[in-house]
Amino acid sequence: MNAVLDGVGVARAARRFAAPQQYVQGPGVFDDLGTIVSPHGTRPVVVVDADVAELLGDRLAATMTAASPAHQVLAVRGPVTREHIATVVARISGGSGDVIVGVGGGKALDIAKGVAELLGRPMISVPTVASNDGPTAAVFALYDDAGRLSELGRLPTNPAAVVVDTEIIAGAPIRFLTSGIGDALAKKYEARSCARGSGVTTQGTRPLNIGSVVADGCSRILLRDGEQAVRDAADGQVTPAVEAVVEAVILLSGIGYENGGLSIAHCMTRGLQIGRGTSAHLHGFHVAYGLLVQLALEDDPDVDAGEIRRFLTAIGLPTRLADLDMSDPTAEEIEELAVAAAAAPHASNTWVDASTPRIIAAIERVEKEAGSDVG
């Protein structure tokens, strides 16, 4: 942990606050993108998911041309690797790229972050799905050629702006919003674990109180409005419930985890992203199952794991490995998941023993409890 000197020369542990500089959300705000970008640069480069470019290309061109005629649009498709990011940078015209705008899902935004990191430029996030809180974060995921998470990159600062058009979000397949809810719901319990133990945040410092406060509020919104938001968004409607849940998933969850810390729920994703059947599912589905494992591991009487299971079931998130297409998991498969989780960077961000045998026992308990619910 870093240390700084206070006003009288006494060393003290430093804690840091991280958040995007600006957050804009609402129906139709995509068409304001150009005016939001222009204060940050005169020759922006827009890194956009190729499929999104086909759907929103005309609107993107109109808003960017009106405010920044010298902009460049780069449609991307493919893995988030250092090599691929370098090829995108090589496509940028000379003199362009004083600000990088990412438009699309998680891969497009992470590629845009990687470009911004290489160029040392500010980055603006424009998510077209609400599948996780990555759009607000400085961190981005990088993978190897086999599709395995290899490292976490980090921008010097969080995005200069995050622009969330809720009409676009509501028009996306509902599994993305469901995934976002699974990812966001865990943040309350992960921040709580990190603070109660000796954990640190992704910034390498002890958590600030604001992380737990925001993560707790995020959870309350999701439990209150989540089911209604899923129903409304499935019908393509932008309702107060959808607005509240999208804000919770993208903004509150992001502030909660960057300032509160991650724990076992996210550790579980290390194995699930490569497991039999489970690898085909979105990050938030992995985190939702991981949350149940964390609750079983910590066995805190103040937490009603049954309530969490009921909520996850109601919105179509997994409560057992079979829901992630790992039917009849073998003892070896469960052990592989536990080994990966115990080796993950956030495994020490809890107050209980998070060794492989303990995580195996927690997974087995989750499977047993889910079987009882089904029975």
Does the annotation flag 131 for ligand binding?
Answer: yes
Does the annotation flag 283 for ligand binding?
Answer: yes
Helices 174-196 & 240-247 angle (0-180, nearest 10): 50
Does the annotation flag 129 for ligand binding?
Answer: yes
Q: If phi over 0 gives left and psi between -120 and 50 gives alpha, with beta otherwise, what is residue 239? A: beta
Residue keyed to tokens 């890194």: 47
The answer to whether 282 touches 130, Cβ cutoff 8 Å, is no
Does the annotation flag 252 for ligand binding?
Answer: no
Does the annotation flag 109 for ligand binding?
Answer: yes
Does the annotation flag 107 for ligand binding?
Answer: yes
Does the annotation flag 24 for ligand binding?
Answer: no
Does the annotation flag 299 for ligand binding?
Answer: no
Does the annotation flag 49 for ligand binding?
Answer: yes
Does the annotation flag 289 for ligand binding?
Answer: no
Does the annotation flag 110 for ligand binding?
Answer: yes
Distance CA 223, CA 215 (A): 12
User: What length is written for the chain?
Assistant: 375
Does the annotation flag 342 for ligand binding?
Answer: no
Does the annotation flag 346 for ligand binding?
Answer: no
Does the annotation flag 106 for ligand binding?
Answer: yes
Sheet of strand 161-165, all strands in order from the earlier edge strand to the far edge = 23-26, 161-165, 123-127, 100-104, 45-49, 72-76
Q: Residues at the annotated binding site?
A: 49, 106-110, 128-131, 133, 143, 183, 266, 283
Q: Residues at the annotated binding site for NAD(+)?
A: 49, 106-110, 128-131, 143
Q: Residues at the annotated binding site for glycerol?
A: 133, 183, 266, 283
